[in-house]
Amino acid sequence: MSGSWNTIESDAGVFTYLLTNLGVRNVQFEELLTLDPSSLAELHPVYGVIFLFKYPTDAPYRATGDKPLDGTFDHSIAENKLFFAAQTIPNACGTQALLSVLLNKTSGSDDEETKIDIGPVLKDFRDFTIDLPPEFRGEALSNSDVIRDTHNSFAKSSPFVDETTRNPNDETEDAFHFIAYTPFNGTLYELDGLQPAPISHGPCTQESFPEKVMEVIQRRIARYGDAEIRFNLLAMTRDLRIRARELGDVELLEREEQKRRDWQFENALRKHNFVGFAGEVLKGVVEYRLKEGGEDGYKSWVGQGKQKMVKRIEERRKGRGGGGEDVEMEG
């Protein structure tokens, strides 16, 4: 029986080091804050993008019959060269989307410029599953201890919530889903493990990929209501430090090295449970307050804290707009 998969964040640092820990080198992720194709083209070479959106959508997820809402199903390509796996277990979609790009950029790709050395672990996995049908590839992924444990190592630490039991159908909380877009042998494909097959979006070269994929994503976002702005887009690209070294750009290299240090620190924080630390700090503060002002001083301090909290809540309610604190992706 396969183990559980935890949810992970749509974060460039998480996805970059997830790749690194699986043995992939010279590849990173960059978060895109705009749907302008030029922002993606600047990262050349780009291997593909991973798109996060709310699921299920307010509109039907697919059209009736053997036809998606956009593009066309390509059943034959999944049975041949393209790696596509059906999602057979909850919470694995982030890593599955990542692999949907990565495993189609190996030595078997027709595009020399975007070939990736995926390392021995993923090479063995691809070699074992490439001749299997999509549903068996999904089962193989679900049962891969190495990939699952690496994925779960980037899940948030929480002593209160078991993310492995999260119900995506629970109306009290929103669920999100990752899918991938990548050019493969002259065609733009949408790879979504919840769909029955890869979705073709027509002819696409490596050079036209930024423009083509942004058009498809814009059409997809347009299917949501105007109030929905919770989307995230990550680009899988070559390690930007390589470009910096090739150009002799010392400033760019230092920025990228600092970015890696920041990512490592943030990933360490994600894995750490701060409840014990917070409890010890709180006990120390309470002891100090009791020592300084006695029980009356302690009660006064608690009362002041409550008043400040009520004031903050009221201020947030007054200043809350339609989008809250979310940042809308620019079109």
Paired with 182 in beta bridges are: 189
**pLDDT tens, residue by residue, 70-126:** 999 998 887 767 999 999 888 889 899 999 999 999 854 555 667 888 999 999 999
Catalytic residue among 93, 151, 201, 204: 93
In this prediction, residue 8 carries a pLDDT of: 83
Residue 184 CA neighbour count, 13 Å, CB half? 30
Number of separate domains in the chain: 1
pLDDT at 164 over 50: no
Q: What's the pTM value of the predicted model, to 2 decimals?
A: 0.77
Residue 162 lies in a domain: no
Output the average pLDDT for the chain: 82
Contact 202, 219 (CB under 8 A): no
Residue 284 lies in a domain: no
Residue 254 lies in a domain: no
**pLDDT tens, residue by residue, 256-296:** 999 999 998 888 876 655 556 556 667 777 777 777 778 77
Residue 287 lies in a domain: no
Phi/psi at 295 (nearest 5 deg)?
A: -65, -35
Contact 164, 8 (CB under 8 A): no
Residue 77 maps to which CATH number? 3.40.532.10
Among this protein's residues, is 204 annotated catalytic? no
Residue 261 lies in a domain: no
Distance set, CA 35 to CA 27, 30, 221 (Å): 22, 13, 11
Among 89, 329, 103, 331, smallest CA distance to 198 is for 103
In this prediction, residue 40 carries a pLDDT of: 95
Residue 135 lies in a domain: yes
Among this protein's residues, is 177 annotated catalytic? yes
Range of the domain at 214: 12-157+172-238
**More confident site: 60 or 321:** 60
Q: Strand ranges (DSSP E) for the chain? A: 27-32, 46-55, 72-73, 175-184, 187-191, 199-203, 232-238
Residue 305 lies in a domain: no
Residue 260 lies in a domain: no
Strand 27-32 relative to strand 232-238, pairing: antiparallel
Catalytic residue among 44, 75, 151, 177: 177
